[in-house]
Structure 1
Amino acid sequence: MSFHRIIMLPLCTALLVAGCQEKAPTPPAGEEAGHDDEDGEIDLSAEQIHRAGIELVTVVRGGAGALTVPATIEGNPQGMQVVSAAIGGRVVSLTRNLGQPIGRGQALAIIESREAALLNGEVEAAQARLALAESTLRREQRLFDERVSPEQDLVAARTAAAEARIALRLARQQVAAAGGGGGALNRIAIVSPLSGQVVARSVTLGQTVAADAELFRVADLSSVAVSLSLSPADAGKVAPGSTIEILSGDRKSAAQVDFISPVLDEATGLVTAIAIIDNRAGQWRVGEPVTASIRLRGANAGSILVPHGAIQTIKGRPTVFVRTDHGFKATPIVLGPQSGDHVVVISGLRGDERIAAANSFTLKAELGKGEAEHGH
C-alpha cells in the first residue's frame, strides 16, 4: 500500500462519519403539513384543516334509542305565501329584491293597466254617488223635520244613501282584492300578505304580466319545517311529540315531531314526518340537507352516535379523529349496532367531542406517514 493511500483512507472514513451525523435541513415554517407523534396526535392549523377539506361534526347523543335519517329543511307551510297579480298589466315599480324584509301590507310592486283604471275609477264614482246620496238625505231630513216633504221621500233618500255606501264598499274591496291603491288612477299596488323576507322573485321591471301570474314568494323564516321520510316500520316507533335533533356540521337544533302522515307516499312508499324548528337566529336555510336524530319512545339517552364516514381502522381497531386545540387525536372506540347513517359508540367517547367526518382518511394517511418516519 502506498503512502498516499494510507493517508486518504482515514480521511475518507472521517468525512463519511461526519456526513452521516449531519442533521437534515429543517423545512421552512408553514411548509410542513403537520407533526405526528407516537400518541396518535396530529398537529394541524385551522387553515390546513380547511385546505384538506376535512369536515367537523359533533357526535350525536341518543345512541341505540335514536333513529337517524337524512332530512331536508323546508319553509313552514303556514309561513310561506305566493304573491300573484290579480289583474294583468305592466310592472312599473319594484320595491324589494331577494332577501330583503317586507312588512304585511307593504307594496312589493306597482302594476299599470286599463283594468286598474276601471277599478279605481269605480271607487271614485262610488264616492261621488255616496256624497250626493248623503247630501240628498240631509236635505230630505231637514224638509221632513219642517213638515215640507212626506216621510216616503225621507225613506227613499235613506235607501239611496245605504245603497251608495254598499257600492263604495264593494268597489274598494275589488281594489283590495287586486292589491291596493297604486297612487294613480291606472295603477294597482301588489302588497305582501305577511311580514317576512322575499325568497323568490319572478318578475322584472317593465315586464307585462298576466292575471294570476306569480310575482313573488314571501316567507316568514323565524320558524322552518324539517321534512323526513320514514319506513313504515320506523314510523311506528315515532309519535307526535317525539324529541328530534337536527344536525349539520357544528349546528344543531332541538324540536318535536308535529305531524306523521297517516298514508304512504305513492312514489316512495315511505311515511312523511314534519317538525317545526325555531329559526329566529337564521341558522337554517330552506332546501338545506340535514341529519335528523329522533329519540324513540323508551330510548336510552346515554348512548353516542358517530357517522359511518368518520370511522377509520387503525392497527385493526375502529378509530375516530377527535379535534384538539392543536389538530386531531386518533381515538380508538368500541362500536355497537348501526342506526341509519350512524353507528353506536359503546365506549371511547364522552359525547361532546367534535370529530373529523368527511375526508378523515387523509388524517389516517398522515398518521401512517408519521409512524413510518418514526420507524426510521
Structure 2
Amino acid sequence: MKITILRATLPLALIATLAACGGTKPSEEKAETEAKEGAEAPSQGVIKLSPQQIATAGIQLVRPTVGGGGAIELPGTIEGDPQGTQVVSAAIGGRVVALTRNLGQSVGRGETLAVIESREAAQLNAEVEAAQARAALAQSNLRREQRLFNERVSAEQDLIAARTAAREAEIALRLARQQVSAAGGGGGSLNRLAIRAPIGGQVIARSVTLGQTVAADAELFRVANLSTVSLTLSLSAADAGRVRPGATVEVSAPGRQATARITFVSPVLDATTRLVPVIAAIDNRSGQWRVGESVQAAILLGGGGGNENGGGSAVSVPSTAVQTIGDKPVVFVRTGDGFRAAPVTLGQASGASVMVLWGLTGREQIAAANSFVLKAELGKGEGGDED
C-alpha cells in the first residue's frame, strides 16, 4: 500500500520541481523580447526635420486661432482704401509737355507727375511776380516813412498809410502764391505749372498722354496707397446684428489667405439691395491683393464653443493644416526637432478654416501650407518599419 502511494506522488513532485527550476523561462523571455522591441521601435507619428528642411519643403508654420462661435461665410470684393486713393487733376487747362510717372510706378507726396503749359499758367505766374514787386515797393516806402517820422519830418498819418499799403501788398502776394499752389506750383518757366502727387503711393490709372491738351479739372492720374486695402461685404440685417467693428474676417482666394478686421458696419441698409454694407481692412504691404478682385470671406463670430482641452474658447486652424491618416484627422504640431501628428476632433468648417473641438490648446505652432509633405514623410517611415 505504501509503495503505491509513493509511485503516485513522485510524478507530482517532479513536475513541481521542474516548474520551480525553469518552467517560467519561456514567458520571461517573451516579456524581455517585447520590452526590447518596444524600446527600439520609433515613436509613432513623429517626424524629425531640421529648420532648413522645413523651409526647403515650403511648410508654412502658423498658430491656431483661438476664440469664436461660428462664422458667416459670404463673397466679398477688394477695394482701395477710400482714404488712400486720390484723383490727380489739372486745375487749369493746357498742353501736357512732360510726364514723369507711368502706370504701376511709385510716387512720393509732392513729387511732380506732369507739367502743363498754358497761357493761364503764364498769367498766374506773372501775377505772382507783379505782387512780389508791389510788396517790395511797399516795404521800401514803409521804411522811408518810418525814417522820416522818426526825424519828425513826416506826419504820423503818412506812416500809417505806408504801413497799410505794405500790409495790403503782402496779402496780395500771398493770394497770388496760393493761386499758383492750388494750380500745381511752378513748372520750371513762366508759362508752365507742375501737377504734383497729393499723397505717396502707386499710380493705378493714367488718362493722359504727352502733348495732349487737357481741360481744367480733367482727371490725369489716380494715385493709391495700397499698403492697406478694403474688403467690402453685404450682410442681411439679421447677420449684421451679430457683427461688431473689430471682428476678425478670414479672407481667402486661390493660393492666398489673409486676416482682416471689420472697421465699419453701416447703421443704414442699402436702398437698392436692402443689405447692410460692411467694410474690413486688410494689410496689403505684400501686394498680394488687387483692387476689384472677388474673394471668399468668413466673419468669425465671438462667444461660443469652448474645446475639450480645458480652454474656454474654440480653436480653429487653416483647412490646409488638417490631414487624414488611417481615416482619422490629424494636425502636425511643431516640436523641438520636427513635428508630431496630433489626432484632433473637428467641428464646423468656416471658409478656409475648420474648428478643432479636441486635440489642440491653441498655443501650439502647426504646419499649414504643404502639410501633406509631412503626411507623405510619415507614410514612408511606416512603410520602412513594415519592411
TM-score above 0.5, yes or no? yes
Amino acid at match of 1:247: S
Structure 2: distance between partners of 1:290 and 1:299: 26
User: Is residue 2:244 matched to residue 1:239?
Assistant: yes
- One-letter amino acid of the structure 2 residue matched with residue 185 of structure 1: L
How far did 1:63 drift?
Answer: 8.3
Aligned partners of 1:151, 1:63: CA distance in 2, in Å?
A: 80
Cα gap change, 1:186 to 1:213, in 2 (>3 Å): same
2:273 — aligned with what? 268
Deviation (angstroms), 1:266: 2.1
Cα distance in 1 for residues equivalent to 2:203 and 2:350: 39
Distance 1:141 1:348, change over 3 A: closer
Q: Which residue of 71, 86, 91 maps to 2:91?
A: 86
The residue correspondences of 1:1-376 to structure 2 (distance < 5 A) are 65-300=70-305, 302=314
Question: Does the 8 A contact of 2:70 with 2:300 survive in 1?
Answer: yes
Please tell me whether the aligned partners of residues 335 and 347 of structure 1 are also in contact (alpha carbons under 8 angstroms). Answer: yes
TM-score, normalised to structure 1's length? 0.66
Q: Deviations for 1:161-187, whole angstroms, at most 9, x for unmatched residues? A: 100000000000111111111111111
Instruction: Measure how far apart 1:354 and its partner are.
Output: 6.0
| Preserved contact between residue 113 and residue 197 of structure 2 (Cα < 8 Å) | yes
Name the amino acid aligned to 1:201: R
Q: Provide the rounded CA distance (Å) in 2 between the counterparts of 1:212 and 1:81.
A: 14
Instruction: State the shift of 1:218 in Å.
Output: 0.8
For 2:108, the aligned partner's letter is G
Structure 2 distance, partners of 1:150, 1:303, is: 88
In the alignment, residue 189 of structure 2 is paired with which amino acid? A
Matched residue of 1:160: which SS?
Answer: helix
Query: Which stretch of the first structure deviates more once superposed, 293-302 or 207-216?
Result: 293-302
The structure with more radius of gyration: 2
Q: Secondary structure at the match of 1:197?
A: strand
Task: Give 3-state SS (helix, strand or coil) of 1:168's partner.
Answer: helix
SS in 1 for 2:280: strand
Tell me which residue corresponds to 1:25.
none
Q: For the structure 1 residues 144 and 355, does the alpha-carbon distance in structure 2 shift closer, same or farther, using more than 3 Å as the test?
A: closer
Letter in 1 for 2:210: L
The superposition leaves residues 324-376 of structure 1 with CA deviations (integer Å, 9 ceiling, x where unpaired) of xxxxxxxxx999667679987989999967689xxxxxxxxxxxxxxxxxxxx
Distance 1:64 1:147, change over 3 A: closer
- Residue 146 of structure 1: how far off its partner (Å): 1.5
Contact 2:122 2:190 in 1 (8 A): yes
- Is the 8 Å Cα contact of residues 306 and 345 (structure 1) preserved in structure 2? no
Corresponding position of 1:4: none
Which amino acid counterpart does residue 266 of structure 1 have in structure 2? Answer: A
Partner of 2:162, secondary structure, is helix
SS at match of 1:99: coil
Kept after mapping to 1: 8 A contact 2:68/2:301: no
Partner-residue secondary structure (3-state), 2:154: coil
* 8 Å CA contact retained: 1:179, 1:189: yes
**Would the alpha carbon gap of residues 201 and 350 (structure 1) be closer, same or farther in structure 2, given more than 3 Å must change?**
farther
**Which SS does the other structure have where 1:140 is aligned?**
helix
State the TM-score, normalizing by the size of structure 2. Answer: 0.65
Give the distance between the partners of 2:141 and 2:369, measured in 1 at CA. Answer: 83
Aligned residue pairs total 292
Letter in 1 for 2:117: E
Where 1:74 maps in the other structure, the secondary structure is strand
Identity across aligned pairs (percent)? 66
CA distance in 1, matches of 2:99, 2:93: 16
CA distance in 2, matches of 1:348, 1:185: 75
Partners of 2:75 and 2:233 within 8 A in 1: yes
Q: Aligned pair in 2 of structure 1 residues 63, 133: CA closer, same or farther (>3 Å)?
A: closer
Task: Please give the per-residue CA displacement for 1:105-140, whole angstroms capped at 9, x wherever unaligned.
Answer: 111111111111111110000001011111111111
Return the alpha-carbon distance in structure 2 between the equivalents of residues 167 and 234 of structure 1.
58
